[in-house]
Structure 1
Amino acid sequence: MEKFVYDFAEGNKDLKDLLGGKGANLAEMTNLGLPVPAGFTITTSACQRYLAEGSHVEGLSAEIDDHLAALETSMGRKLGDPADPLLVSVRSGAKFSMPGMMETVLNVGLNDESVQGLSRQAGGNDRFAWDSYRRLIQMFGKTVCDVPGHEFEEALHDAKVRKGVKDDVQLDADDLKELVAAYKKIFAKHTGHEFPQSPREQMDLAIAAVFRSWNADRAVLYRRQERIPADLGTAVNVVAMVFGNLGADSGTGVAFTRDPATGESGIYGDYLQNAQGEDVVAGIRNTVPLQDLEKIDKKSYDELLAIMAQLEGHYHDLCDIEFTIERGKLWMLQTRVGKRTAAAAFTIAAQLVDEGMISLDEALTRVSGAQLAQLMFPRFDLSSHPSPITRGVGASPGAAAGEVVFSSAHAVAAAAEGKSVILVRRETNPDDLPGMIAAQGILTSRGGKTSHAAVVARGMGKTCVCGADEMEVGRDQFTVNGQVVREGDTVSIDGTTGRVYLGEVPVRPSEVVQYFEGDLDPALANEPLVSAVHLLMTHADSAARLAVRTNADTGADAARARRFGARGIGLCRTEHMFLGDRRPLVERLILARTDTERNEALAALQPLQRADFLQIFREMNGLPVTVRLIDPPLHEFLPSLEDLAVQVAVAKERGEEAEHDERMLAAVRRMHESNPMLGLRGVRLGLVIPGLFAMQVRAIAEAAVELAAEGGHPRPEIMVPLVGAVQELETVRAEAEKIIAEVVGTSGISGASSGVEILIGTMIEVPRAALTAGQIAEAAEFFSFGTNDLTQMGWGFSRDDVEGAFFWRYLELGIFGISPFESIDRDGVGRLVRIATDEGRATRPGLKLGVCGEHGGDPESVHFFHEVGLDYVSCSPFRVPIARLEAGRAAVTSAGSDHR
């Protein structure tokens, strides 16, 4: 029979799939001999079974009985014993950290009788016992029975008002007894029954609630945001309670072995005396810096620092630690590889390489393209010396500005209207996740670097300022030193310094972009981040097998992409060259009624095209440039059918001359298509309109010859779009080869020594092309996968029509984990890519393969293209560094997998 429950001593850090991250790391700390409270872990497989079967998991209850009995024996106490109670926490713990997204219940085992026993355990501390009891009813009610949490909060607020105090620690035992009675009434009102007095019933119900919380709305949303698989399930950790709320000699805190915001070494964290863990994480009371613990309890402080050093040395990474001090005794409640900002990720990885803890290959796996993208966004330009209205804790770096909103719902609604917003709260909780995702940044008046807002914002790469305690936050405004900021007003928040500005502060380029642009020498920069990025990018380039090209249609874009490290152009979209003031020339081509008129229009376009190509070839001198022949439906260059019809009708009504408009209207009607994406475009256009592709091929060849004559090294590649049958490509290729031979032959520089070699290939964007790639490769020297159209045609929907129409519902239902236009659909579209790759190379072993759809810059997709064996990916200039990093990571990860 499958084993569902493990004592901490039975596990280790490598069992995260089975025990979850929290359980595996509790087991690891136990085996290291660290002070961990006794307990056991219920596996993720038990959760999977529970969710699949409804409730009962055969054999689970008996295993829990056995492990609970062992726990009671080791502690010398019985769960909920009225005389000497054992209390436990029931805590979630998935494989991947999901801070605050699932449930935890503390103090399980307390009831009307055992609260007296807990008081005796605590040396007659009635206040502590009743405080623990009210916390259990509140957490159990909200978590297990869906009692509205705000009603408990309002009852607590009323108790403090009656007492005339500000903090709950100022309530005495009698106040808390009354609060427990009030909480019980709230519980009974919403559940229809009394608060359960059976300790085992409490525990079983709490375990089931943790299982169910895996599918809570906020957990599902967080998994979708972080791309965490939905079928993993959560483990449940049942741990003997230790108490930080026993008085001034007790407390709880969170520590980091390095700064999770910057990566700098040092002592970072928060501590709160006379408190339980949720008080720190929730941010409901402002903490003191961890360094203050040295003055409060030096013995525990010194022990904690030694354990922090031991854990970082053991995990070889930044560790995030939760701890409790119970009457001077230090207990470790959790450790994990800590969430960090993008800047900290790069800085820490480089530091650990310098310290000899990890290799460069390992360092490369610790950072990601998504993090690099965050580092490339601009920062505030403070040259005008704006004055902050307040300052909090810089919890997650970045520069964010937007309209103030005070609720998650308002943030979501405003973002849907295209507005940039800053979500302002006293403190955030897991229910605020939709608004945190929608907002540009988060600002809270309570909490620190380890509060819910800070941890979640860092994980998402959102700018966050916490603990701006000069702020008084209301329902639709906040006040700072008498200044009122209302919903809809604009503020700017700096997640590095913690400063908050009224109005929109201008931004400046990031140092990382300046480095990529060549304006910042990493050897001279005082910025550790720039040095770290340089180190890891250099190693990524040396490790990568995939080359990275860019999508660029102008010389300026080509130049910037080359500065960013592009090794050529994978997609030059010639249709973009026909817009603006050249549009009338395209209209002339479309309206041409004779060969003479058509040739005149093409003759006018050719020198413009040649100049475009020459500029791009010069910027990419020595590197390949893939030029796609014109692809879009021609109607995109024409006025709308409706507008033209109105113009012609009005002109006739007035008796005005409208010959041009009438001809244009006739052409638009002639070319009108019900589904232009599947109509006259790509290779079909070149075959139907004589001379169009020939003009472009001639312009490409002439530009290449001109650059060669200057002593340059042009490497053009002509890409024929939308090919579905090899005969289409053969027809275009035959004409192109004649033109190229003619241009090179009359240039005065002929043969291989001319330095002009032009490859001809095709774009694989029609499913039939992928399925007949073996035939098409007979006429193609390269394939470039147009994954945007391949996705549209593979799925049978138009991106422009469906993303806003139903994608949200597909994501909600789990049909899509992520939009197939954002990350490659491995099973469907990816299979077409594999088939075309295998069959194309079977026909032509030296076939060059690349991808030029937007997936070429998506980190997950880059790894897939590495696996398939493509030669390069192509993406927009800004995403080139991201793709370079991911190409290196893909090579390192693949090599590690092969080695294992």
Structure 2
Amino acid sequence: MLTTPDFTEITPTADIRTHRHGNRAKCLQRLARLEMPVPHTVALSFDTVRAIADGKMPDLAALVGIFGPGALLSVRSSSETSDWGGPGTILNVGMCDATADALAKTHGPDVAGAVYTGFIRSYAVDVHRLDAEEFENPITPRLAKQAYEAEMEEAFPQDTTVQLAEVLRSMARAWEGTTARLLRQAQGAPADAGLGLVVQQMALGPAPGTFGGGISGAGVVQFVSSDTGEPQITGRYLPRGQGRQALTEGAAQFIESDPRGPALEDVAPDQVQALRDAHGLMRMRLREEMQIEFTLMDGALSILDAVRTPRSARAEVEIAVALANDGVIPREEALLRIPPFTLNGLLHRQVKAGAVRDVLTTGIPAAPGAATGKIVFSAAAAQAASARGEPCILVRRETSPEDIRGMHAAQAILTERGGVTSHAAVIARGLGLPCVAGATQLQLDHRKKTVTVPGRKVFHEGDIITLDGSAGEVLVGAAEMVEPALGGAFATLMEWADEFRDIGIRANADTPEDAAMAQRFGVDGIGLCRTEHMFFDSNRMTVMREMIFAENAGDRAASLDRLLPMQRDDFIQLFELMKGQPVTIRLFDPPLHEFLPRDRDGIRALAEALDLPVSRVAQRIEALQEFNPMLGMRGVRLGITVPEIYEMQARAIFEATVTSSRKGAPVVPEIMIPLVSARREVELVKASVDAIASEVRSKTGSDFTYRLGVMVETPRAALRAGEIAEHAAFLSFGTNDLTQMTYGLSRDDAGRFMSAYVQQGVYPEDPFRQLDIDGVGELMHLGAERGRTARPDLTLALCGEHGGHPDSVDFSRKAGFDYVSCSPFRVPVAKLAAAQFAIKDNGLSGDIKA
């Protein structure tokens, strides 16, 4: 073994460190320790490569001397983590006139000429950045050298050390380039991430059937499917090939015998078995599924490299679970290996990797998944399309509660305005629908039923598009899809997550369908049921509007009496679906104007339904308008000024409680008051709710209990949590509104400028996408501390959309919260994140040990 301050020969005992030499160098050493047939390899450290970029070259004569005279070398990048990338591999360094002559004697002139020509082309284009077109036609070394000399005005170098110096310098400087730095930083690399390089002796053997030689070529093989993660030998082998040529050459063969064509196993079964054995050893000792790059030299197997097998989200989970089930890694490590957001690729349909993508426009990726369907411009059109069995995508300038039924009917939602916590985004995530919001280039004409993007054709209602909510892209036509995978390894992973997590995970569920989906993901209850979403059915909407137009409390109560049985049935279904688990029901929250039409046709239809003059209906709608309705008469303010609404809802909850309890499911409903900012608000609502509970107990002859709590959405509620907690059994922080009010930002409009703010470092991240720990989080800490001081048994929760983000889960655990609640399709992400944080806090790193 030769070690200098500049480079180290890779042997089983050499001092090779991932943080100093990179991931590839360390992997090659691990292969050497496993006694794999790895060619001679030398590792250059991060510091050496930085010095090369600055013009200081190591002792190349000593380095080349390790390999002996006439050796051909490859140079590969070795970043600390394979995801960070690096410059492409350069093969056949050392190829020159003398080497070509020697190679012609052993391999034949055709092989020697092809290798020499290929190296000259690579050296010119990849190392010296010469115009690739100048090297497309030369098919002999002589012509290639002439093209090189014409461009460089110097002879093609014949000295291996000169060639190697230029290769190393080119790769070192490419790593320091702006584009490379931005690409790796996007993968999480620090700005000062280092690059190592490995120089490896190439294996070249007699070509098949030429000069009496044995089997020679190169290939790449893996033993699981990159799409599914299930056992499957895939890969290609190219006779007389080099490097990874087999993956791109049409003449490449299969690895194992295959009826579709020739395979390496047909002529070299022992070598294929040796690859199987190598895979088994790597899987057990490296504790990972590896993709192997190999060569055959006169029948002798050499393993040049092994990298983590490329994999989809589904394969990621399948591989980790299989390794744990086989005892290769513990369950804790299997959980730690899966980035939580990876699960979105299993929960939703996705555009298949490599599929053709004709991007029409982009927006904010507001809800993950992908869907294809016909464009529709209204909720009614979406419902009609659904009735015909036609998948559709609802396209709106922005959505409102009136669009709820259409959103249920659509396959995906696209809006011109809004951000990650807009109405469209929140509802879409709850329904598990892909959503792209804030697609500002869209030009919608609802009257003509067209949508246009500047420079593209006009799209009409009925035209087909694909929405990729994970990427925030709108695609023309139908894209090839991958279906979700919720069973098998995914289900096992969720069971393991439940074993290790130490915080409750509930779901935000407004309908029986939402609750059923939440149960499928194994939640600990419902943490937020937004009752207003139950009123947007067309039958209920009319009654709701009658209530709004009522002249007095008696008339309002009469209308609400008609809604009571509908609400009661809703709650009965939820209670029975949740089977005794807690259900937190938020009392009515939105301003009343959201239930009223805004266009002329809608106003006329409402006037007919209520048998009132159009002018009177218009006047009433105008009177209900507010300058800033999200800060106006909504939530508890509406409940106090129009108490009949909360009284009806409380009665429906308690009657449903009695009915469900009689069927054998013990129910303790949790009633949550929204938008509280003062203790007196809670006192007033509590007195009313307690009175309704007494009435129902008396009327039914049944006893029951319930818990009353507060949704903390205003900064004042967080600051005054101590006195509010005196009358509340729980505080649930609604981070959507709390973020909006803390920042003074409209969550629906902030998307227009938020990307510029994040890019310029005003905010580290969109606070509606990722919880602001420093600002909003401090308010939550204060609220939690003051609430628990006043009432030690106070239950604490987070029920905003942030609840499904790993950072919010970690924050909530450390703050002593009892649970987080999020949209059903975000539950698996939250559960996995919770398990990972619990495992890390218990000291298991999950690092791979060699």
Question: Which TM-score band (shorter chain)?
Answer: 0.7 to 0.9
Residue matched to 2:494: 537
Residue matched to 2:90: 106
Residues 284 and 899 (structure 1 numbering): CA distance in 2 closer, same or farther, change over 3 Å? closer
- 1:720, 1:762 within 8 Å by CA — same for their partners in 2? yes
- 2:100, 2:116 within 8 Å by CA — same for their partners in 1? no
- 1:12, 1:25 within 8 Å by CA — same for their partners in 2? no
Distance apart, 1:320 and its partner CA: 1.9
- 2:333, 2:846 within 8 Å by CA — same for their partners in 1? no
Distance apart, 1:576 and its partner CA: 0.6
Task: Give the TM-score, by structure 2 length.
Answer: 0.72
Residue matched to 2:594: 636
Please give the alpha-carbon distance, in whole angstroms, between the structure 2 residues aligned to 1:659 and 1:886: 55
Please give the alpha-carbon distance, in whole angstroms, between the structure 2 residues aligned to 1:5 and 1:675: 67
Distance apart, 1:759 and its partner CA: 1.0
Residue matched to 1:623: 581
Please give the alpha-carbon distance, in whole angstroms, between the structure 2 residues aligned to 1:586 and 1:193: 86
1:118 partnered with 2:96: no
Residues 898 and 33 (structure 1 numbering): CA distance in 2 closer, same or farther, change over 3 Å? closer
- 1:257, 1:265 within 8 Å by CA — same for their partners in 2? yes
1:577 partnered with 2:530: no
Distance apart, 1:242 and its partner CA: 0.8
Query: Residue 729 of structure 1: SS of its match in structure 2?
Result: helix
Query: Residue 96 of structure 2: SS of its match in structure 1?
Result: helix
Please give the alpha-carbon distance, in whole angstroms, between the structure 1 residues aligned to 2:532 and 2:15: 55
Residue matched to 2:385: none
Q: Which amino acid aligns with 1:851?
A: L
Residue matched to 1:678: 631
Query: Residue 676 of structure 2: SS of its match in structure 1?
Result: coil
Distance apart, 1:627 and its partner CA: 0.5
Q: Which amino acid aligns with 1:691?
A: E
1:73 partnered with 2:39: no
Between the aligned residues of both structures, percent identity stands at 34
Correspondence for 1:322 among 280, 293, 297: 293
Deviations 1:364-404 (A, max 9, x none): 334465555544557xxxxxxxxxxxxxxxxxxx89699x8
- 1:255, 1:270 within 8 Å by CA — same for their partners in 2? yes
Residues 775 and 303 (structure 1 numbering): CA distance in 2 closer, same or farther, change over 3 Å? same
Deviations 1:602-639 (A, max 9, x none): 44433432332233223224111100111223221122
Query: Residue 694 of structure 1: SS of its match in structure 2?
Result: helix
Structure 1: runs of 5 or more not aligned? 78-83, 160-170, 379-397, 422-439, 441-487, 493-502, 516-529, 652-656
1:361 partnered with 2:363: no
Please give the alpha-carbon distance, in whole angstroms, between the structure 1 residues aligned to 2:110 and 2:756: 50
Distance apart, 1:354 and its partner CA: 4.2
Deviations 1:239-292 (A, max 9, x none): 134155974443222222444444444644322222222423456654432563
Residues 592 and 881 (structure 1 numbering): CA distance in 2 closer, same or farther, change over 3 Å? same
Correspondence for 1:36 among 31, 35, 38: 38
1:789 partnered with 2:737: yes
1:228 partnered with 2:220: no
Please give the alpha-carbon distance, in whole angstroms, between the structure 2 residues aligned to 1:138 and 1:664: 78
Residue matched to 1:199: 163
- 1:207, 1:236 within 8 Å by CA — same for their partners in 2? no
Q: Which amino acid aligns with 1:358?
A: I
Residues 268 and 12 (structure 1 numbering): CA distance in 2 closer, same or farther, change over 3 Å? farther
Please give the alpha-carbon distance, in whole angstroms, between the structure 2 residues aligned to 1:765 and 1:43: 53
Please give the alpha-carbon distance, in whole angstroms, between the structure 2 residues aligned to 1:806 and 1:414: 15
Task: Give the TM-score, by structure 1 length.
Answer: 0.68
- 2:512, 2:573 within 8 Å by CA — same for their partners in 1? yes
Query: Residue 325 of structure 1: SS of its match in structure 2?
Result: strand
Correspondences of 1:22-421 after superposition (within 5 Å): 22-41=24-43, 65-66=58-59, 68=60, 70-77=62-69, 84=70, 87-97=73-83, 102-107=86-91, 109=93, 115-122=96-103, 124=105, 127-128=110-111, 131-136=114-119, 138-139=121-122, 143=126, 151=133, 156=136, 175-182=140-147, 198-199=162-163, 201-212=165-176, 215-216=179-180, 219=183, 224=186, 228-229=188-189, 231=191, 233-243=193-203, 247-248=207-208, 249-265=215-231, 267-282=233-248, 286-289=252-255, 292-297=263-268, 300-367=271-338, 370=341, 372-377=343-348, 405=356, 410-411=358-359, 413=361
Residue matched to 1:736: 689
- 2:127, 2:166 within 8 Å by CA — same for their partners in 1? no
Residue matched to 2:838: 891
1:614 partnered with 2:610: no
Q: Which amino acid aligns with 1:718?
A: I
Residues 311 and 562 (structure 1 numbering): CA distance in 2 closer, same or farther, change over 3 Å? closer
- 1:90, 1:237 within 8 Å by CA — same for their partners in 2? yes
Distance apart, 1:126 and its partner CA: 5.5
- 2:91, 2:243 within 8 Å by CA — same for their partners in 1? no
- 1:8, 1:27 within 8 Å by CA — same for their partners in 2? yes
Distance apart, 1:714 and its partner CA: 1.5
- 2:799, 2:821 within 8 Å by CA — same for their partners in 1? yes
Please give the alpha-carbon distance, in whole angstroms, between the structure 2 residues aligned to 1:506 and 1:213: 35
1:855 partnered with 2:802: yes
- 1:763, 1:783 within 8 Å by CA — same for their partners in 2? yes
Query: Residue 36 of structure 1: SS of its match in structure 2?
Result: coil
Query: Residue 277 of structure 1: SS of its match in structure 2?
Result: coil
- 1:13, 1:28 within 8 Å by CA — same for their partners in 2? no
Distance apart, 1:74 and its partner CA: 1.9
Residue matched to 1:436: none
Residues 375 and 645 (structure 1 numbering): CA distance in 2 closer, same or farther, change over 3 Å? closer
Distance apart, 1:573 and its partner CA: 0.6
Please give the alpha-carbon distance, in whole angstroms, between the structure 2 residues aligned to 1:732 and 1:193: 89
- 1:13, 1:24 within 8 Å by CA — same for their partners in 2? no
Distance apart, 1:72 and its partner CA: 2.5
Deviations 1:323-354 (A, max 9, x none): 23345443333223323344444444444344
Q: Which amino acid aligns with 2:295?
A: T
Please give the alpha-carbon distance, in whole angstroms, between the structure 2 residues aligned to 1:118 and 1:674: 82
Please give the alpha-carbon distance, in whole angstroms, between the structure 1 residues aligned to 2:308 and 2:766: 29
Residue matched to 1:558: 515
Query: Residue 571 of structure 2: SS of its match in structure 1?
Result: helix
Structure 2: runs of 5 or more not aligned? 209-214, 258-262, 374-411, 413-461, 467-476
Residues 658 and 582 (structure 1 numbering): CA distance in 2 closer, same or farther, change over 3 Å? closer
Please give the alpha-carbon distance, in whole angstroms, between the structure 2 residues aligned to 1:797 and 1:142: 51
Residue matched to 2:472: none
Q: Which amino acid aligns with 1:237?
A: L
Residues 489 and 593 (structure 1 numbering): CA distance in 2 closer, same or farther, change over 3 Å? closer
Correspondences of 1:429-508 after superposition (within 5 Å): none
Please give the alpha-carbon distance, in whole angstroms, between the structure 2 residues aligned to 1:399 and 1:645: 38
Residues 831 and 17 (structure 1 numbering): CA distance in 2 closer, same or farther, change over 3 Å? farther
Number of residue-to-residue matches in the alignment? 722
Distance apart, 1:578 and its partner CA: 1.7
- 1:12, 1:24 within 8 Å by CA — same for their partners in 2? no
Correspondences of 1:719-868 after superposition (within 5 Å): 719-749=672-702, 754=703, 756-803=704-751, 805-806=752-753, 820-826=767-773, 829-830=776-777, 832-858=779-805, 861-868=808-815
Distance apart, 1:314 and its partner CA: 0.8
Residue matched to 1:695: 648
Distance apart, 1:569 and its partner CA: 1.2
Deviations 1:681-700 (A, max 9, x none): 22233234343323322322
Aligned-CA RMSD value? 4.7
Correspondence for 1:20 among 9, 19, 22: 22
